[in-house]
Every structure is written in C-alpha cells, then in structure tokens.
Chain A
C-alpha cells in the first residue's frame, strides 16, 4: 500500500462505514462494532503513514481539478499528521466511551449519531491532510454541516437555538471572511498550495497581507477567537461524547490547525514578523485567553465552564501562531496534542458524572468524588495537564509558548500566560476539591435538603433504568465501565505525553525549519 492510497483510504474509510451503520440501525451491538472496527483500521492506516512523514517524505495525492488549476489535493506534513493522529486515535476512545454514555443516557437516534460522527471524523482527517486552501475549505464546511445534527441531537427548543448560533457563526464567518480571503489570496498569488515559507512573495503588499490576516483569523471561526466564540458554549447542548471529541478535539482543533497552516504555509513565519499590523490580533487573542478564563470562572454548569476553558486554550494556539517565532509556533502545534488529551479527559469525566448522577452543575457536586473516585481522580489529572504542571503533557507546550514569547521580547504575553495559568487553577481545581472534601451531601447548605433527598432516592432506586447501568460496588457509584475505561485511558495519555514530548517536538520541527530535523 503506497502512502498516496493510504491517504485516500484514511479519508474514505469512515464514509464507508456510513451505509453499514444505517443498515444495522436496529442492531446496536453490530452498529457499534462497525464503528469500532472502522475507527481502529482508520487509526492503523494513519499510523502507517507516520514513519514516512517523520523521515521527511511529503506524499501528495491529487484528486482532480475542481476549478481550473485548483485541485483537491492532499499533502502529508507533520502538523497534519499530528492532527489526524489525534483525531483518529481519540475517535476509538470516544466510541468506546459513547457506547456506555449513549446507552446509559438512553439517547434517541443513536444511529444518526454514529453516522454523523463518522462523517465528521472523515472531514477532520480531510482537513488534516489538505494540501491547499481550497481542499481545506471544502472539508471545513463539511465538518460544520456534519456536526450540526450532532449539536442539535436532542431536537429540543434549546438545541435548535444552539444549532442556529453554531451554524450561524461557523458558516457565516467561513463564507464572509474565509472564502473572501481565499479567493483574494488566489487572486494575488495564483496558487493556494500550502508551501513551506509561505506563498506571499515580494509583489504582495503589506497592506494586502495585513487585511488578509484578520480575514483568515476571523474566517476560521472554529478557532473561536472572540468575538466569534459564542458557538462553542452553544454547542454544549450536544451529547457529551460530541462535546468531548468534536468540541474539544476535532472541530476546534481543525480551527486552530487551520490558523497554524495559514500562518506557517500561506503567510510564512518570517512574513508575519514583518507584518507589524498583526499586533492587534495578537492582543485580541491574548484578551480572549483572559476573558474566556474569567467567564469560565463564573460558569456553574460544568460543560459550559469547560467550553469557555477551551475558548481560552484555543487562543493560546492562535497567539502562538501569530508570534512569528519558531519556538512559539512549535509550542502552539504541541498544544494541539496536549490540550486535546487534557480536555477530552475533562469532558469524559463531565459526561460520566452526568450519566451516573444526573448532575450538571458544579455546585451540586459536593462530595461526589467520594462516590466516583476514578472519575474525579482523572479529572484532576486532566486539570493539572491543562494548567501546565509536570508530570503532565500540558507543561511542555506552555513552556515552548513562553519561550516563543520571550524570543520576541513580549513580556506582556509572558505575563498573560502566567495569569491565565493561575485562572486555570482557579476554575478547575475547586471542582475536584469540592468533589473530595465535602463529604456530607445531606447537610449541604446551598441546596436545601429536600431536593437532595429526592436526588438520592432517585439514584438508589433499583427500578431506575439508569441506575442499572452504573457501577454500584461498595458504595461507589461510577459510570458504565466503557466510560471509565475511556477516561482513564486519556488521563494516562496526559502522563505519557509528558515523557514523549521530545519525540513530538522533533517530529514537528520541520514545519518551522523545513526539511528533516
């Protein structure tokens, strides 16, 4: 199997699963087996490409012209490889998690869920492998459309409204800003290929570039730079596996991945430095980091808090890509991986809590850690990785980000990153503390006892369908085994990434230096 055919297979394979999933809609076990097998094979195919890319090869596959001299092209390079690897590996984990979650939660329309999921993953891989902006744009839009039914999965009024915000912002920004920017870029450069060192030559004026940059940054709405971030919290009405894989990994990472691609391969890092006017977007990204963290602090709903945390963390990467420093850019690229594992763990935990105890608000979670120790322990690991403490992966990406900011002598950004880390501590750690230390549910002050008695009775009622699906061993009350397995795995991933960060760094290094490390 050549690298070129592997590229195609990796993108098409999830789509092949779709008809099979539809056909087995009445047999959940078979349906989920299909998803798992597809996910595993996809991961294997993508994995088989790693060595090629690491050794400096850049296999390219062209699928024919969509417009004259503009074709659908896929090119492998380290950054895309990283993104595809993360998306496909976490797809397996999320599927395992979703089986427990969707059944435990008795969700409707599970087939549609798995189908849209497969399409979304396919388009995420398409984005990762895209060799030019046109290809990127196509898969970017497919990703938006295929995740819409996932966001509005419950079909309620609030889901519909959230869907409107989701689609309105993502489609709106992509058509108004991104498409214009792409056509304009094509107009001045006659190419849209992602090229090392950028495609803007001498003849492109600074003024044009300075106009295009914000068009790209805002146009890639999935990067959720304020003021175009509202879709991400809105998307939290989706079932938790969607929030976990798509709105902590695939969709949002597609956004920041796009920003990185544009800054590295369209503008070129050197050009960015010359582009003094990019400063105001840097400050906007910095402001997003802080403001989103502050909003996260004020959110009582766990998923909403995590969503704002994601908004903040995404802007780390946007900021990194705009610094114009090689180390900073690498830090941003690494943060894609580090944040993915950290945040998906947190979302898995939030979903596990929801399935096992029906609790969504942080204020209701007092003492819950004692009943769900594994979940809360993994939540702690994920939090520490997000905050950026050793021995968890998150520390490395922040480290390089800080180096990058130091590189260009921007003390203010160093300061902002530090403050943000403190804010991370402030909005994540209390959740764990609340979970482990407030033992007595019954004498809870904030919540009058009455609600809690009913809440508890519901949990312990043997006739409750949900309760049958959860672990209740020796007073523990954890979510279904598949959920626990998945979230332990990703938590472990945070630790593993700490020790293999150097490998990752070497693998990614060619994106800023060109050629092999």
Chain B
C-alpha cells in the first residue's frame, strides 16, 4: 500500500508537514519536526530509485485520473536520481541547521524558517517527480516563493534586496515558463510531458511550438542561473542564511537544470532541434561563457561565499555543456556532475556556514591565517576546493573526465581545451583561498573562536567525505547517470 503510493507521499509529506510547523511554533520542536520529515523523505527517494532500477519507469496517476487528463507522476532513472540528490541534501542539512539557525535567525521567527524550508523541499521534490508540465510550474512557484522568503531571512539587510531581485527575476522566469507551457498547450492540447513528447514531433515546424520552446528554455535557464541569466544568484547565496545557501546551492539550481533536461530531451527529444533552432549551439556558447566568466568573476571576490556563488555559475556551465553535446557521454557527464557538484558545493557552503558560526564572517580577509587555528575545517575547505578543480580521487575528476571525453568524442577538441583552461581558473581562485588560509597573517586577529558543535561538523564531513568517496567508488553514480543518459537520448520519456 505505502510502496504503491510512494511517489505522492514523497511530495505530500513535506508539503503537509510545512504548515504544521506554523502551529508548533516552539523553535526546538519545529526543528525536530522538520528533521523527522526530511529524514522520512530520504528513504522514500531511495525506495523509489531502487524500484525504478528494478522495474523500470514508475507511473502514478494522481487521484486515479489517467493521463493526459489527470496529473501523472512519472519516475524514471533520471528524476529518481535527482530526487535522491534533493532529499539527501535535505536530510544532511537539517542536523546542521539547528545550531546555525539558532545563531542566525531571531528566536521568534525560527518556526517560519522551517516552514519555508519544508515548503521549498516539497516544491523541489514535486518539480522533480511530476510528469506534468503545468504541475511542474506549480511546484516551481512553491519552491521559488519559499526561496524568496528563505533568502530574506538573512541577517544582513542586503538579504532583502537580494531576495527582491531574485523575486523579480524568478517571477519573470516562471512567467516565461508558463507562457511556454501555454503555447504548447495551444498547439497540442496536452500538458503531460510524455504526451507532449509524442505529439510535438508531428508539428515540430509549427511556429507556436517553436516559440513555446524558446520561452520554456529561457524561463528555466533563468531559474538555473545559466549565464547571462545568473545575476540573481551571487547576492542571493551571499546574503541568505548559511543553511539556505547550502540547501539552494546543492539543490535548487540542480532541479532547474533537471527540468531543463526534461524540456530539451523529453518534450523536444524526438524533434531535431538543430533543424529548427540552433539550441544546441546556443547552449554550448552560453555554457562556455558561464564556465569562463563565472570562474573569472570568482577571482575578484572578497567574500568567500560570493566567490563560491560565482563558482556555482561556472559549474552550472559544465553541466549545461555536457548536455549540449547531445551524446551519451556528454549527458552522462552533465548528470554525474549534477550529483557531484551538489556534494562539493553543499560541503563547501557547510564549511562557510561553520565559519559564519565560529568567527562570524566569511570575508577573505577574516579567514587569513585560520589554517593553524581551525586545521580540520580548513582542510575540508581545501578538499572541497580540490574537488572543484577536478583533482583525481575527488568526484570532480570523474565529471571532468567525462566532459573532456565527450568533447573529444564528437571531435570538438577546442572545447576540450576550453574545459581544461577553465579548470585552471578554478585552480587560481581555489588557491587564492589556500594562500590566505595558510600564509597570510590575520588582519584583525579574532581572539575567541567558538567551538564548532558536532551537529554541524559531522554533516560537513559527510559531504566532504562523499566528495572523495564518489571520486573513488564511481560505479553507482556513473551507472545511474549513464542509464539516464541512454534513456534520454533514446527519445521520448
């Protein structure tokens, strides 16, 4: 019974748990409640993934209404993998959240924070699991609206402008998306992704469909912060509460990229997009620009959080680049990096969350000389940074290897060079931090470094450890990503 309804439970559980937080109100109890919810979501995602691996795609009709009239949840390898990413990060971030949130958010608003966090989790899980283009929009809005609130919780007053900016841009993105869905509905009369995939190839030359695709792609690119639609991201990550930066950097953009993949490969999978619009080339150019400009911008940041925010923009470029290759190796690279980057950035932002907790700052000048005083935390920062560079034995290496291989496979070796050159930029910005940590004298020495609670240190090491683990034991991730890529390129859903 439960096993059969797992797909809907996966979303409904956090969705219903969120408003209950409003009634509980007691900070510690609310946290406990959110903690339990998040940890219940994880086994569900694992269960779904196992089931998909065992039986193939799961189709679940909401309320028993069959698609294309009813809403359908359709879980294949790709989105069960993304579900795992989201619920895993959710589960790991919550133990971390307790102390961090207590420090950063006023006592009387903590319950609101967890309400929004659970809503955001529900929204992201919903976006991932649904097989309905309009339903995806609904969940997109749930996750976005809760994200705006979460960002505005930041202590710094600039969090408000960051949230406002994201609100404007995010709304434009969501609007574009819904216009796109509307145009497709006009032309096909269907909102179901699987159905659209069947209907659209017949009318691929239709202008309405083509403009619909343009709206969908731009709308989702805004949410995914693909260059040059990334301007909302740096401020949002910098001024949001630490927990929000961790959660968003590891999940929000990843889910948007997932939706992106769905549009490009599922809805328009059987249409030769190249013949209609040079989508693939456009993506490739934007991805490369993101890789180079994101990394270059990271070089000039004075706040480590902001630096890693720009690095995220570059890393999203890697993912989109892999997808734009339109080959099994390329898409595998993209999907694997979706996972690997979530681990690395989640871990890195946790390090920054610890810094915010222990020394109250993430400015580069304030971390000077911390290598001696916080050797382990700084070691974690370095390991995460090495992952970003793509050093062998970290998860980043696997992604990069596949990406280069994909580029050479289809004969685009200049792009292979650009990939390696942009990892040189990564070396530079990571090493700038390393030098500050280990060689610089503290500018204004901080006398009392707060002790780091184990509830924050352990999650950080889990993610940083996973960066190494999935750089060595790659069977699971590569197999799943490879299978997802093959299924996607086979066309349809």
A interacts with B: yes
Number of A-B contacts (CB under 8 A): 72
Tell me if B409 and A187 are in contact (CB < 8 A): yes
Contact partner of B420 (CB less than 8 A), chosen from A64, A67, A180, A187, is A180
Tell me if A176 and B427 are in contact (CB < 8 A): no
Tell me if A183 and B401 are in contact (CB < 8 A): yes
Tell me if B474 and A175 are in contact (CB < 8 A): no
Tell me if B408 and A138 are in contact (CB < 8 A): no
Residues of A within 8 A of B164 (CB): none
The A interface, classified by DSSP as helix, strand, loop or mixed, is helix
B interface, size bucket: 20 to 34
Contact partner of A184 (CB less than 8 A), chosen from B390, B402, B408, B478, is B408
Residues of A within 8 A of B386 (CB): 145
Q: In chain B between 244 and 258, which residues have their CB closer than 8 angstroms to a CB of chain A?
A: none
Chain B 393-429 interface 0/1 with A at a Cβ cutoff of 8 Å (1 = within): 1000010111011001100010011001101100100
Cβ of B391 within 8 Å of any chain A Cβ, yes or no, is: yes
Cβ of A65 within 8 Å of any chain B Cβ, yes or no, is: yes
Cβ of B439 within 8 Å of any chain A Cβ, yes or no, is: yes
With known contacts A171-B427, A184-B408, A187-B408, A141–B401 Cβ distance under 8 A: no
Residues of A within 8 A of B392 (CB): 134, 137-138, 141-142
Tell me if B416 and A183 are in contact (CB < 8 A): yes
Tell me if A68 and B427 are in contact (CB < 8 A): no
- In the docked arrangement, what's the CA distance between A186 and B420, Å? 17
Cβ of B431 within 8 Å of any chain A Cβ, yes or no, is: yes
Tell me if B390 and A152 are in contact (CB < 8 A): no
Cβ of B4 within 8 Å of any chain A Cβ, yes or no, is: no
Cβ of B50 within 8 Å of any chain A Cβ, yes or no, is: no
Residues of B within 8 A of A167 (CB): 427, 431
B481–chain A nearest beta-carbon distance, Å: 11
Cβ of A160 within 8 Å of any chain B Cβ, yes or no, is: yes
Tell me if A183 and B408 are in contact (CB < 8 A): yes
Residues of A within 8 A of B472 (CB): 66
B375–chain A nearest beta-carbon distance, Å: 10
Cβ of B435 within 8 Å of any chain A Cβ, yes or no, is: yes
Tell me if A172 and B427 are in contact (CB < 8 A): yes
Cβ of B39 within 8 Å of any chain A Cβ, yes or no, is: no
Contact partner of A176 (CB less than 8 A), chosen from B390, B400, B421, is B421
Tell me if B398 and A160 are in contact (CB < 8 A): no
B313–chain A nearest beta-carbon distance, Å: 20
Contact partner of B404 (CB less than 8 A), chosen from A66, A142, A160, A179, is A179
Cβ of B438 within 8 Å of any chain A Cβ, yes or no, is: yes
Tell me if A164 and B393 are in contact (CB < 8 A): no
A185 — nearest CB in chain B belongs to which residue?
A: B408
Cβ of A201 within 8 Å of any chain B Cβ, yes or no, is: no
Cβ of A430 within 8 Å of any chain B Cβ, yes or no, is: no
- In the docked arrangement, what's the CA distance between A155 and B368, Å? 13
Which of A68, A171, A175, A180 has the most chain B CB within a 10 Å cutoff?
A175
Cβ of B447 within 8 Å of any chain A Cβ, yes or no, is: no
Residues of A within 8 A of B55 (CB): none
Residues of B within 8 A of A142 (CB): 392-393
Residues of B within 8 A of A183 (CB): 401, 404-405, 408, 416
Cβ of B475 within 8 Å of any chain A Cβ, yes or no, is: yes
Tell me if A180 and B431 are in contact (CB < 8 A): no
Residues of A within 8 A of B404 (CB): 179-180, 183
With known contacts A65-B475, A142-B393, A160-B439, A175–B401 Cβ distance under 8 A: no
Chain B 196-221 interface 0/1 with A at a Cβ cutoff of 8 Å (1 = within): 00000000000000000000000000
Residues of A within 8 A of B423 (CB): 175
Residues of A within 8 A of B427 (CB): 167-168, 171-172, 175
A65–chain B nearest beta-carbon distance, Å: 7
Tell me if A176 and B401 are in contact (CB < 8 A): no
- In the docked arrangement, what's the CA distance between A365 and B454, Å? 57
Tell me if A67 and B401 are in contact (CB < 8 A): yes
Chain B 3-15 interface 0/1 with A at a Cβ cutoff of 8 Å (1 = within): 0000000000000
Chain A 343-354 interface 0/1 with B at a Cβ cutoff of 8 Å (1 = within): 000000000000
Contact partner of B478 (CB less than 8 A), chosen from A67, A138, A141, is A67
- In the docked arrangement, what's the CA distance between A134 and B401, Å? 11
- In the docked arrangement, what's the CA distance between A282 and B48, Å? 59
Tell me if B424 and A172 are in contact (CB < 8 A): yes
B329 — nearest CB in chain A belongs to which residue?
A: A187
Which of A138, A183, A187 has the most chain B CB within a 10 Å cutoff?
A183
- In the docked arrangement, what's the CA distance between A155 and B431, Å? 15
- In the docked arrangement, what's the CA distance between A7 and B427, Å? 32
Residues of B within 8 A of A186 (CB): 405
- In the docked arrangement, what's the CA distance between A167 and B472, Å? 24
A335–chain B nearest beta-carbon distance, Å: 29
A115–chain B nearest beta-carbon distance, Å: 12
- In the docked arrangement, what's the CA distance between A65 and B472, Å? 8
Q: In chain B between 426 and 460, which residues have their CB closer than 8 angstroms to a CB of chain A?
A: 427, 431, 435, 438-439
Contact partner of B393 (CB less than 8 A), chosen from A67, A138, A160, A184, is A138
A140 — nearest CB in chain B belongs to which residue?
A: B392
Tell me if A68 and B478 are in contact (CB < 8 A): yes
- In the docked arrangement, what's the CA distance between A257 and B35, Å? 54
- In the docked arrangement, what's the CA distance between A134 and B413, Å? 20
Tell me if A175 and B420 are in contact (CB < 8 A): yes
A390–chain B nearest beta-carbon distance, Å: 44
B405 — nearest CB in chain A belongs to which residue?
A: A183
B439 — nearest CB in chain A belongs to which residue?
A: A160
- In the docked arrangement, what's the CA distance between A67 and B472, Å? 9
Residues of B within 8 A of A152 (CB): 438-439
- In the docked arrangement, what's the CA distance between A179 and B391, Å? 11
A109 — nearest CB in chain B belongs to which residue?
A: B372
- In the docked arrangement, what's the CA distance between A66 and B402, Å? 12
Tell me if B405 and A187 are in contact (CB < 8 A): yes
- In the docked arrangement, what's the CA distance between A454 and B366, Å? 42
Chain A 169-181 interface 0/1 with B at a Cβ cutoff of 8 Å (1 = within): 0011001100110
Residues of A within 8 A of B482 (CB): 68
Which of B389, B405, B420, B431 has the most chain A CB within a 10 Å cutoff?
B420
Tell me if B421 and A184 are in contact (CB < 8 A): no
Residues of A within 8 A of B478 (CB): 67-68
Tell me if A175 and B390 are in contact (CB < 8 A): yes
Chain B 451-493 interface 0/1 with A at a Cβ cutoff of 8 Å (1 = within): 0000000000000000000001111001000100000000000
Contact partner of B413 (CB less than 8 A), chosen from A65, A155, A159, A184, is A184
B336–chain A nearest beta-carbon distance, Å: 11
Contact partner of B474 (CB less than 8 A), chosen from A67, A163, A171, A180, is A67
Residues of B within 8 A of A168 (CB): 427
Q: In chain B between 359 and 406, which residues have their CB closer than 8 angstroms to a CB of chain A?
A: 386, 389-393, 398, 400-402, 404-405
- In the docked arrangement, what's the CA distance between A160 and B432, Å? 11
6 additional A-B pairs beyond A155-B439, A176-B417, A187-B405, beta carbons within 8 Å, are A64-B473, A67-B398, A67-B478, A142-B393, A145-B386, A184-B413
A-B pairs, top 6 by smallest CB distance, nearest first, are A138-B392, A183-B404, A160-B439, A176-B420, A187-B408, A183-B405
Residues on B facing A (Cβ under 8 Å): 386, 389-393, 398, 400-402, 404-405, 408-409, 413, 416-417, 420-421, 423-424, 427, 431, 435, 438-439, 472-475, 478, 482
Selected A-B contacts with CB under 8 Å, 27 pairs: A65-B474, A67-B402, A138-B393, A141-B392, A142-B392, A152-B439, A155-B438, A159-B439, A160-B435, A168-B427, A171-B424, A171-B427, A172-B424, A172-B427, A175-B389, A175-B390, A175-B424, A175-B427, A176-B417, A176-B420, A176-B424, A179-B401, A180-B416, A180-B417, A184-B408, A184-B416, A186-B405
